[in-house]
Chains A and B, each alone.
Chain A
């Protein structure tokens, strides 16, 4: 339960603009996250919290340092290997849901399973299971995302993040676009998922939202400057 699942060693990220100006998004971050933790990352806009989240999600490569996910050094992995790692071990929940509007709810949630290469019947079973787990109705299956409310869309997005049963769920401002009632429903789902054993890392600038986590990391100027255990 307390084995480390994510480990960042002296991770820095520098963006260089077209004009050659360097911007430090992360400066020598060291971080260990254990299996089953629920962590909120808080900090002002532009101070590196989303970069840190995407670094853990292997969508960003560090300029220097090492990122280990479940023991794998992601900085030396190929694009194909990283894709497989993301597909199996990491689920993403975005602020703007990022559902594909031309697809039905079922097709959206099914996407990670297509990459896993599961047969169609198995995929259908897992999609329904995942949707039910986060309180979605099966009558939504054939609906397009735009036919659903914001809160409902975010629940579908969580079902999509969950469907391949990843150990890690990364949430980027998951309640940022929701009203307080819907936000409460989403946070409740995340809490339950954590209780089921998923490691959850959530970026937010809202202290109330952050407080549902067991640990809050404060980030400023690309550094982790504080930690609060709740």
Chain B
């Protein structure tokens, strides 16, 4: 019968060896912890942002396309009719867009976005938006608006209700001079809180009937056209057609394309971060190896004694290998825990993307991410410890006993 050392005994002996060289062991463990900590915090945060951004873009509707004039091109009713005639288009609405400064009753000032558009299409453009109070004003009542949640309230205190007037200041170009105009509208409907999304941020916007663009905001040309495509599959074909018609004269924003591009970019970033954190694994590998080699040399005589007492080469190999595995396990657990804390710390600050589009996201710490960090660490722990352990096991006992 072959006597095999029990795992409990091996772990006990390995612990005792690590305890003896406490400082060196702690430093090696810290070196090991950096890899999984970096991996979990960076990738966990990135994946959290990815899923939030992609979810938001998808929630906006995959069949929404927005076009804005580029260069000096001016969008007119001619363009609206031309686009309407395209097979892929379900409905569309041109819109006017402006920014206004607005002072709330609590004394705070906010910059709001004002849209003038076909309000019947509001819940198609801002998918899932709901009127919680009041109604959508008819197109003729162009001084009546639908207001976003943050326009009528702050910190859950509602300042305005349906029927109240709100006044804001908008910039105006008059004879090539920038002037300011005070605009008053009356609230007809209030939107439920929606959350910040791109390209529309409904919470900090007010929506007016389309006629308000000319009459109230004094804008001559359309700021853009919202197009709802018949189905998401037709988006690419529509985008191609618009490109053919307008060339560089318009800028096309397709939410489907954006979601795809964002996903692609983040995937590339994900791989990049994975590669970068892998470098710290390589550093940990050399750290483990050098610590273990030093340990083997310092304990040469001990190895000779163990062999004289009846420990086989395999036993010695296991003892040394377990030391590196034990260091790795402690390091990887410390690394993952600090990685998770780090990820929440990084994600604590909202990520500002474009304009007012900020993303607040919880890090996404998946089992796959933990498994990857754990697997890679254990792999380097075993690989880094194997050669020194093998060297220890192959020591000739007599030479080891004579080692000074």
Which residues of A approach B to under 8 Å, CB–CB?
54, 57, 59-60, 79-80, 82-84, 86-88, 92, 94, 98, 100, 102-103, 107, 111-112, 114-117, 160, 164
Contact = CB atoms under 8 A, between A and B. Distances in A.
A31 B191 CA distance: 103
Contacts of A107: 16
Most B C-beta atoms less than 10 A away, residue of A83, A88, A102: A83
B121 interface: no
A88 B19 CA distance: 30
Given A117-B3, A117-B4, A112 B301 contact: no
Interface in B288-326: 301-302, 304-315
Q: Report, nearest first, the 10 A-B pairs whose CB atoms are least far apart.
A: A87-B310, A83-B312, A102-B20, A59-B397, A117-B3, A115-B310, A86-B310, A92-B308, A98-B305, A112-B309
Contacts of B310: 83-84, 86-88, 112, 115-116, 164
A38 to B, nearest CB: 21
Contacts of A83: 307, 310-313, 315
A100 B305 contact: yes
B309 A87 contact: yes
Given A54-B398, A98-B401, A115 B3 contact: yes
A79 to B, nearest CB: 5
A80 to B, nearest CB: 5
Contacts of B304: 98
Interface string B18-32: 011000000000000
Nearest to A119: B6
Nearest to B299: A100
A117 B6 contact: yes
A115 B9 CA distance: 9
Most A C-beta atoms less than 10 A away, residue of B16, B20, B401: B401
Contact of A59 (B301, B308, B314): B308
Contacts of B13: 114
B14 to A, nearest CB: 12
Contacts of A54: 397-398
Nearest to A98: B305
Contact of A84 (B3, B9, B16, B19): B3
Contacts of B314: 79-80
A45 B13 CA distance: 36
A54 B309 CA distance: 13
Name the prevailing secondary structure of the A interface residues: helix
B141 interface: no
Contact of B315 (A59, A88, A98, A115): A115
| Interface-central residue, A80, A112, A114, by most chain B CB under 10 Å | A114
Contacts of B301: 98
A106 to B, nearest CB: 12
A114 B16 contact: no
Interface in B219-261: none
Interface in B315-339: 315
A114 B8 CA distance: 10
Contacts of A88: 310
B91 interface: no
Nearest to A100: B302
23 contacts: A57-B308, A59-B307, A59-B401, A79-B313, A83-B307, A83-B313, A83-B315, A84-B3, A84-B312, A87-B310, A92-B309, A98-B304, A98-B308, A103-B16, A107-B16, A111-B309, A112-B309, A115-B3, A115-B5, A115-B315, A116-B3, A116-B310, A117-B6
B215 to A, nearest CB: 88
Given A79-B313, A83-B311, 14 more contacts: A54-B398, A57-B308, A84-B310, A86-B308, A87-B311, A98-B305, A102-B16, A107-B16, A112-B310, A114-B9, A115-B3, A115-B311, A116-B310, A164-B310
A79 B309 contact: no
A57 B310 CA distance: 10
B367 interface: no
B73 to A, nearest CB: 81
B17 interface: yes
Contacts of A87: 3, 309-311
A133 to B, nearest CB: 18
A96 B121 CA distance: 93
A46 B278 CA distance: 53
Nearest to B13: A114
B395 to A, nearest CB: 11
A8 to B, nearest CB: 17
A94 B5 CA distance: 25
B305 A80 contact: no
Contacts of B6: 117
B284 to A, nearest CB: 25
A80 B315 CA distance: 9
